[in-house]
Amino acid sequence: AREAHLRYYGHVVRRGEEGPIRRAKNMPVIERRSVGRERIRWMDVVGRDMVEGGLEEGDARDSNK
């Protein structure tokens, strides 16, 4: 699953800044905080996968890595 997350993240990063996927990624989340444990966001999972894999954001732009 980690590999699939990182592959899709690379797809999102290589898109243009004005594309709908990229706009949704950069969109702020405005919602009331619910009681209990904080929800896990997609970028949190991708960031954790990148740290565990020893990758940086620039590596996502290179589809050969």
Report domain extents, the chain.
2-61
Q: Which residue has the higher pLDDT, 24 or 51?
A: 51
Contact 50, 6 (CB under 8 A): yes
Residue of 4, 8, 11, 6 whose CA lies nearest to 53: 6
pTM attached to this predicted model: 0.61
Question: Over 80: is that where the pLDDT of 49 sits?
Answer: yes
